[in-house]
C-alpha cells in the first residue's frame, strides 16, 4: 500500500470532512457526528500559524489526518498537543504510525518542541499501543473527560518528551 503524507491544503476540506463522517473517527476524537463541509472548509482555510495539519493519502484519497497545535502561552511554547484519526477500514495497517512519525519529525527536528501531549480514550487500546510505541507515557487519567454516545468516558493524558 503506497501512502503519501503531506501538509493539509484548504482544498482538502471534503476529504477531511468525509473522514470524520465515519463513526470510528468521530467517536475516537472530540469531533461530533455529521460534520459540515462549511465547518471543515473554514477550519482548514483559517489555521493559525502554530497549527500544523497533515493528511495521509492512498490513490489521492484522504485516509487519515493528524493535527498539532503549539501552545500560545509564552511559558509553554515548547509544548504541542496532537490529535489524529485514520479511516475505519484502514486502521491497524500502519497509516497512523506514518502520520505520527511525520508529525513527530516536524516537532522534533524542525520546530524544536520539547513536549508533545495528547488525550486518548481509555477504551482505545490500539491507539494507546501506537502512542506507547512512539514513546508516549500515560501521565494520568481524566475521569468523565468527554461525553460520547450518551455517556461520559475517561481519557488517558499522555505525553512524550523529545530525546
**Cβ atoms within 10 Å of 96's Cβ, excluding its own:** 22
Q: Which of 71, 162, 56 is nearest to 110 (CA)?
A: 162
Write down the pLDDT at residue 39.
87
Query: Would you write out the chain's pLDDT as a tens digit for each of its 163 residues?
Result: 799 999 999 899 999 999 999 989 898 988 889 888 888 888 888 888 899 999 999 999 999 999 999 999 999 999 999 999 999 999 989 999 999 999 999 999 999 999 999 999 999 999 999 999 999 999 999 999 999 999 999 999 999 998 7
Write down the pLDDT at residue 35.
86
Domain ranges of the chain: 4-115
With a CB cutoff of 8 Å and minimum separation 6, the contacts of 156 are 119, 120, 121, 122, 128, 138, 140, 141, 142
Write down the pLDDT at residue 42.
86
Classify domain 4-115 at the CATH topology level: Aminopeptidase (3.40.630)
Strands of the chain, DSSP E: 4-7, 51-58, 61-70, 79-86, 115-121, 137-148, 151-161
Question: What's phi and psi for 128, nearest 5 deg?
Answer: -60, -45
3-state secondary structure of 135: coil
115-121 and 151-161 as β-strands: parallel, antiparallel, unpaired? antiparallel
**Cβ atoms within 10 Å of 56's Cβ, excluding its own:** 25
Q: Which of 131, 138, 130, 136 is nearest to 162 (CA)?
A: 136
Amino acid at each position: 500500500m503506497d501512502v503519501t503524507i503531506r501538509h493539509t491544503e484548504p482544498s482538502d476540506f471534503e476529504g477531511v470532512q468525509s473522514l470524520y463522517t465515519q463513526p470510528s473517527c468521530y467517536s475516537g476524537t472530540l469531533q461530533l457526528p455529521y460534520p459540515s463541509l462549511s465547518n471543515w472548509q473554514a477550519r482548514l482555510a483559517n489555521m493559525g500559524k502554530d497549527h500544523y495539519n497533515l493528511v495521509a493519502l492512498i490513490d489521492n484519497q484522504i485516509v487519515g489526518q493528524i493535527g498539532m497545535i503549539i501552545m500560545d502561552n509564552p511559558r509553554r511554547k515548547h509544548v504541542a498537543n496532537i490529535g489524529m484519526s485514520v479511516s475505519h477500514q484502514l486502521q491497524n495497517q500502519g497509516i497512523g504510525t506514518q502520520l505520527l512519525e511525520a508529525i513527530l519529525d516536524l516537532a522534533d527536528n524542525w520546530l524544536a518542541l520539547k513536549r508533545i501531549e495528547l488525550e486518548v480514550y481509555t477504551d482505545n487500546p490500539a491507539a494507546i499501543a501506537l502512542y506507547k510505541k512512539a514513546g508516549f507515557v500515560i501521565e494520568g487519567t481524566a475521569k468523565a473527560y468527554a461525553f460520547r454516545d450518551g455517556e461520559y468516558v475517561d481519557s488517558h493524558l499522555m505525553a512524550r518528551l523529545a530525546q
